[in-house]
Structures are given as C-alpha cells and as structure tokens.
Amino acid sequence: MKAYLGIDVGSVSINIVVLSEAGEVITGLYLRTMGRPVQVIQEGLRQAAEYIPPDIEIAGVGSTGSGRYLAGVMVGADVVKNEITAHAVAASMIEPDVQTVFEIGGQDSKIIILRNGIVTDFAMNTVCAAGTGSFLDQQAARLDIPITQFGDLALQSCQPVRIAGRCTVFAESDMIHKQQMGHQIPDIINGLCEALVRNYLNNVGKGKEVLPPILFQGGVAANIGIKAAFEKALGKPVLIPKHYDIMGAIGAAQLAREEVGNGATKFKGFKITGLPYRTGSFECDGCSNVCEIVEIYEEDKVIGRWGSRCSKWDII
C-alpha cells in the first residue's frame, strides 16, 4: 500500500505524518524541536518507521515549515513548500469550502484567506511573540498552571478583566497588576485569551474579510479559551480539526502525493536515521551583501547549501 510522508519543521515543534492514498493519517507525530532539528527529524523518522505497518511503501515526501530546506535535503523530499500553501491544502482536505484559516504556532501566527479553494490573501506575524504558544507556555509556567488546563480555566471565568495584549511585556505586567488588585485567576486567563485574540485580529487579520467556514490550526488550537474568544469576537463558529497540531505536515504529505503522481520518489528511505549529519557556515565575499551561507553534510558530503541572496551557492 502506498503512503506519503509529510514533515513540518518549526522553531518549537517538528511534525511528521504518514498519509494514506485516501488522505487518512496513518501516523502523526508531534515532537518538540528543542533546538536540535537534525536529531529530532531523525528520531521522528525512526518512530514513524516503527509505527507504520510493514506493507506500507513511502511513495512521496514533502517538507514545509521554517526548516523545510533542511528536512528536504536530509530525507530527499519530492516537494518543498512554504507553510501557507501546506496549511491551506490541509484545511481544504478537512473542509473543502473553507474560507478562512487561523494558524497559531509556537513562535508565529498566520491568517490565510481562501476563496473557491484558492489562496487569495494571507498575512504572518513573525516579529512579535504576543499570542503565540511560547508566550502562553511562559504565562502558564509563571502561574504554576499546566498549559493543558489553561483553556478550561478561561471558560470558568465569571467576570473577565481586560488585559493589554499588544505586547508580551505589557500583557505580563498587566496580568501581574490585575492579580495584585485581587482578580481571580480564571478571570485573568480569560482576559488574556481575549486580549491575544484581539491582538491577532487587529494585526495579523487587519483588513482581511473573515468569512466562515473558519478553521483554527496550530498548537494553540488546543486552548479552548482562545477558540471561545475568537467566537465571541467574530460572532461566528470556529472549527478545530482533529489533527489541528500537525496540519502543516498533512498538507506537505498531500502536496507530495500531487507532485509525484505515478512517478518515482526521491525519498532516501528510513536509513537516514542512522547517518551522521553536521552543519557549518561561511561568509561569501563575492559582493557587498556578504551573505552567510549555511551548509549541511551527510557523512562527509555536502548535500544542502542555502542562505545567499543570489543562487550562487545554493544546493537545495
């Protein structure tokens, strides 16, 4: 039986999916990057190889995310695509009529506008961590509350307070101030959820026509307090897919399926989990840009190189 491998390499997590020809998730892994993407990709593939049935043949591989080129050269990807495309494709597989996609991950957030199955507009917030998973993790740790309970506590709020959410520093200061004034923790957490949603819609979603069906994807979709805050702000239902946290990898796998068709895959096989990899860099002095060129070695051979503004050094 043929299947397709999708890898989404982000700053906080690495997601690996094995997708059947029918578009069903055979295996889905969500792993923390922990600053070691090469080792975590290898570990993820090792786990995926153990979980999939022995009669599965990987017929195509796709990579996406901020580390898509790294993953692509390591595994021999057939297609390397940006996160916008991957998330839009995955959302369309779940809800063919989807018109808006909210995607909030560990370090950035995105909005994708689709009309008739085609991406017509999008926006990303990559400069500020306000509203992302890492900021919510930080606040959960400060309050000594498991992040898994954050959303449930938000829904217990009786009198939500207004929190300044335009900046992580101001949001944290405002939360501390509200605590010192005697407000209850559920009210403060609910206020934070509403502030983060307000910030998202006013910045990432500014000028965008948000129409249903709306899908909410990314790790932060696990927080039902954020979902409730979106629905309150928009007055529209927000849907969370079953595999909300690995949608980028699902989209990458589906893109690989479309790319390969009945052709041969470039996938190197699960043997790469045992190969040594190392990375290095150097500065190009060919012009005044002085680009930093990053390269990755498989054993002693350079298999990938990128980072230049021109294509002089690129091996992708």
Indicate the helix (H) or strand (E) that contains 226. helix 224-234
Contact 241, 217 (CB under 8 A): yes
Given a cut of 90, whether residue 219 has pLDDT beyond it is no
Cα distance between the two ends of the chain: 29
Domains within the chain, CATH numbers bracketed: 2-88+248-274 (3.30.420.40), 96-240 (3.30.420.40), 277-306 (no CATH)
> Does residue 133 have a pLDDT over 80?
no
Average pLDDT over residues 17-25: 91
Give CA–CA dist 21/32, Å, rounded.
27
- pTM of the shown model: 0.86
pLDDT band at 124, cuts 50/70/90? confident
User: Residue 244 and residue 95: Cα distance in Å, rounded?
Assistant: 13
Q: State how far the Cα of 204 lies from the Cα of 193, in Å rounded to an integer.
A: 16
pLDDT at 266 over 80: yes
How many Cβ atoms from other residues are within 10 Å of residue 134's Cβ? 16
Confirm if 113 and 43 have CB atoms less than 8 A apart.
no
**Given pLDDT bands bounded at 50, 70 and 90, which one contains residue 310?**
confident
Query: Cis peptide leading into 213, omega within 30 of 0?
Result: yes
E strand segments, 134-274: 214-217, 238-239
- pLDDT for res 99: 95
pLDDT of residue 314: 76
Q: Which two tokens stand for residue 87?
A: 């998330």
User: C-alpha dihedral over 120, 126, 132, 133, to 10 degrees?
Assistant: 110
Which position has the token pair 């996938």?
267
pLDDT at 217: 93
